[in-house]
Amino acid sequence: MTASQTSPWWHPDRHADRRPALLARARIEARVRGWLAERDFLVVDPPGLQRSPGNEAHLHAFGTQMIGNDGVGQGMYLHTSPEFTMKKLLAAGETRIASLQHVWRNRERSALHHPEFTMLEWYRAGAPYETIIADTLAMIRLAAEVTGIRQFEFRDRVCDPLAVAERISVAEAFERFAGIDLLATMDADGVPDDAALAEQLLRVGMALPEDRRWSYLFTHVLVEKVEPALGNGRVTVLDRYPACEAALARRVPGDHRVSERFEVYAAGVELANGFGELTDAAEQRVRFEAEMAEKRRIYGERYPIDEDFLAALEFMPEASGVALGFDRLVMLATGAQRIEAVLWAPVAE
């Protein structure tokens, strides 16, 4: 490594090396904001400090204390996503909103992860989630056009960001890349069968991990067999996730085993996660309770459920939305191999 690569990020020599990617980041951000304005999105500014940081089992938040004028503190969290606040704004009557701001996730630091990063999130009231998928693909093309890059590369994976995207359901992907009939491991209401999925893994020659719960086995196959096959050569939209793996998404009409959830991959990098949004408060409460029970089982803790959010769902219109990792998109559009390379000031280690 050169001296500039081992120097702190603020050293003039290292900053000079990093600056072209950072200027590209600024240009991409300007184009994103312009794209949103042209389509009548309001860019909103949700507060990062929340009573509940989100209620997904495997997301970890940063906790803090908010101390009142009386000196008494109450537990608060830095949000892992602005999602709850943005859906409250949909309930309030907004119809097209977006946010480009920092979010925080604990236990995450790697080439693709940073404890504080920038999330681009947007929602359309009254729009099907196919519209949000199209938006997401447009954002990816926009970033590539800004930098003029012809091919996204990450490690040994490549992807043409301008090619027509591939779209495949989770069930189709499990069949194609792992030889597993995923839908056969759920009943008609989407209730998963641990033993049935374990049997499928054994049938295709995969070793069973110690944890044989359906959700863990699902993730094991997804990571080992499916994700390595996504976003190669062209962008992949992986959609129609099992309902039990989509806590905030509505079910697909006519097939309650799957939900309107999608993820987008490019060059092996997961870029975005979106939903046709669930607006049934009673079902949402059941899902949150299940997620927090799983979190307590695995990690020994749980987060509060945002009762204000559940109350707002009663007023929220049908909508679709997506969260896109802005830093990851900039990485691919600039050829960077680590997320810190496109952050103006990385968090201290």
- The confidence score (pLDDT) of residue 5 equals 65
- Cβ atoms of 159 and 267 within 8 Å: the answer is yes
- The confidence score (pLDDT) of residue 94 equals 98
- The confidence score (pLDDT) of residue 349 equals 85
Eight-class DSSP state of 51: S
- Cβ atoms of 311 and 119 within 8 Å: the answer is no
pTM of the model: 0.95
- The confidence score (pLDDT) of residue 6 equals 78
Half-sphere exposure of 76 (CA within 13 A, CB side): 14
Tokens of 120: 């681009």
- The confidence score (pLDDT) of residue 4 equals 56
Tokens of 146: 């800004």
- The confidence score (pLDDT) of residue 35 equals 98
**Average pLDDT of each block of 10 consecutive residues along the chain (349 residues)?**
73 96 98 98 97 94 96 96 98 98 96 98 97 98 98 96 98 98 96 96 94 94 96 97 94 95 97 97 95 94 96 98 98 97 95
Element (H, E) at 65: strand 62-67
Domain ranges, ordered by start, for the chain: 12-67+74-341
Which whole-number Å values give the CA distances from 186 to 18, 210, 213, 242, 289, in the listed order?
Answer: 49, 21, 13, 9, 20
- The confidence score (pLDDT) of residue 2 equals 58
CA angle 233, 174, 153 (to 5 degrees): 20
Question: For the domain 12-67+74-341, what is the CATH code?
Answer: 3.30.930.10
**Chain segment 263-312, per-residue pLDDT in tens:** 999 999 999 999 999 999 999 999 999 999 999 999 999 999 999 999 99
